[in-house]
Amino acid sequence: MMTIEWKTSTNVVPYEKALSFMENRVDGIIRGEQNELIWALEHPPIYTSGTSSKKEDLLNPKNLPVYEAKRGGQYTYHGPGQRVIYVMLDLNKRGRDLRKFVKNLENWIIHTLSDFEIEGFTRHDRIGVWVKRPEKPSSIKTDVCEEKIAAVGIRLRKWVSFHGISVNVDPELNYYEGIVPCGISDYGVTSMRDLGKNVTIEEIDKSFKKSFSLAF
């Protein structure tokens, strides 16, 4: 039987500390010495770059630190009001299928958002979870405006995952103006608060834990 531990940090966690923790935990999982772990936290305001990031997509750092995350994906923002969930799971036990794993993470987010009457969805050409904004002008690529509410960025070591997902509950959205989020310039970024949902971090944590079994 696979044992998954759940860890919640109530204070913001410096990014370097989180990286070091994940590296050590993943090594312990690989050695069979530690359990799988799901870690919910917030970071101070920062930008991170993934393995596909382009320098020109860092438009204006706004005096925020920029970290090389070595995860998949491109530039993103982390900060208070955004729930980050780092997922350290052993895909050797769950099937060595990265594409399916990412899809499961996206479905996990969609199930969680539905608890708050938010209809999230995915697009085959854009990673992450999106919502429709019919009250806003649409882009040239869609009939109805679509904005990103959650991001996914994963790294594997010997088929053990780390990094994970982030959901915008109530962050400072203006920080996204400093980057091209995830390398996608034609679509905006939103949050649960921006959609009129006054949700606490504790409430979304409870929903994530409840909906985990629906996606995995």
Return the CATH number of the domain spanning residue range 4-215: 3.30.930.10
Domain coordinates in residue numbering, the chain: 4-215
Catalytic pick among 182, 189, 192, 199 = 182
149-193 confidence digits (pLDDT tens): 999 999 999 999 999 999 999 999 999 888 777 666 678 899 999
Contact 59, 77 (CB under 8 A): no
Q: What sign does the dihedral 56-99-146-143 (CA atoms) show?
A: positive
Q: Is the overall model pTM greater than 0.75, yes or no?
A: yes
CA distance 39 to 10: 11
33-72 confidence digits (pLDDT tens): 999 999 999 999 999 888 878 888 888 877 899 888 888 7
Q: What is the DSSP letter of 171?
A: -
Whether 182 is a known active-site residue: answer yes
